[in-house]
Structure 1
Amino acid sequence: MTSLFDKVSTAKELKESEDFSGGLLWNVQDILPKGSLGLITGSEKSMKSSLAQDLAQAMALGEPFAGRETTKTNVLFIQNENSRLTEHQRLKGSRRDSPDNLYFLHGGAFKLDTWKYDSQGKKHNVGLRELYSFILEKDIGLVILDPLKDLLEDNEIINANQPMAEVLRGITSLRNTLDMKHDKYVTFMIVAHARKQAGEQSLTERDFRIIPSHILGATTIPAWYEVAFTMSPKINSKTKNGYSVMKVFARNFAFNNEILWGYVGSTFTSIEQDKKEPDSELVEKVKQETPIETTKESALAFLDLAKGQGKVIEND
């Protein structure tokens, strides 16, 4: 007879297990552990969807993200906002390749709040049940759901604590089931909008930063995450170009650096404090498609805004 406690572990077993040798297992070194429940949040035009797509492509390819090593894995991107044509255009404009282990689901049919009862009267989540099967079939290691507001059939749920908590518990339960039954550490990242007022304040106040509690909707949403990437939109006073400041919030580790995200030519890239310039490899790539003068101008403008924000330290 199966017992609820068949898989009980001692503290010693958990600490010394070879499954966890080396400490935290990372999707993205230093900022995103495997098996995380995460949020990507920012106000409109904060580049949060660009960040989500870059993360998806980087992990599917095993390429660096935000200057950090990634662990290559299969990725599912559930996109309920963009059309397939929009996604085609974004992928065509990306600096990264489009691999066949990065899967997209469009059309808006996938919902997080659709339940059915089986013949025995047991309630189950329709979308998450199918997602569970797809994760196992394709050996998915990262699931991105974008955006939260369009993943809900009932428009009232996003602002209601109890129903929203039930939705989020479903994702937590799915993550834990994949862990306990299949030894799979799958990361789930939800893209969620921040309040309009927070975005406006970020644009007018240099030192203002969006935090998880600025997320639009029920307070159970920011209470749920284990890792959150927040995007605070800013305007370069010299060039009038937009960029965003990314901060990392986490329960089980600390990462205090800020990362600036913006476009160099047509390439979405980042600068972190203590770095003098945008990723030189990326700049070289966009030179093939963009006039050198334009690329240099964009790169220098991005560098200038980083200096202005105190995120770049000049070397003597």
Structure 2
Amino acid sequence: MTPGQNIYAMQAHAVRDFVAQTNGSCNMRALAECAPLMGPVAGDLMGYLSDGEACESLYVVQNGVAVVPVMGALVDRCRWIGSDWTTGYNVLKLQLEAAFADAQVEGIVLRISSGGGMASGLFDFVDWALQAKAEAGKPVVAICDEEAYSAAYAIALIGDSISLPQTGGVGSIGAFSMHWEYSQWLEKEGDTVTIIRSGTRKADSNSYEPLPDAARADFQASVDALRLMFAQRVSDARGIDINIVLGTEGRAYFGPTAAKEAVALGLADAIISPDDALSYFAAVVAEQRSAA
């Protein structure tokens, strides 16, 4: 598969990296106890998944709250767990599956700081996670630290609530594909690449010939279908009319003014710092524990 055939649902700055309001009061004790969970996780979780996909530590748990990091470029499969640079949907599934079954875990935080990632495997993972959450009956919140765009926002939909800081961002509900074509540059350099094909459309999205109209139409149909799939899941998870979701036209809502717009649209629930959001959630989990 050539680079042009990869379909990404990610922000432009994440592509570059990959290719090259809650009104409840803050429980300060819970904040002091749980704030370290929002700090760097690599030292606690960094590990390599073996063929059996076993890792000594899948998440950090404190006071009944498990924090699952969703960081960097998002990909279908990745061997590393706890990386700040990339996260695999396979790793997230492994972590959530364990956390849902873990008797010590009473609530789960998705700590998200990502501009997005690959569409491949994304929606199957999100659909699985929503079903697994319903079966487990454990609360899950998505805390943006700072951003959850595109594929990362799709993962945020797993949460019962989504929060973002005042300088953070959410959205970019859409998909795009990029095709690199070097034929004019090669001609200028005096190089010729000849594609010998069997099948008129074999390699029709290669980088050495202009993109054929039929291949371009296929790409467009793919990203249009992905956008509709994405918008439907946002509509279902957030209770927003799908036409309103599509009306965002893939916009990324970032910064103080746009963050308020995102909350008003229903794309997020609160503008609150990550530490305060975790503290509030920890207090809710503790309250539920006491009431049980």
Fold shared per TM-score above 0.5: no
Higher helix proportion (structure 1 or 2): 2
Q: RCO greater where, 1 or 2, for CA within 8 Å and sep 6 or more?
A: 2
TM-score by length of 2: 0.29
TM-score normalised by L of structure 1:
0.28
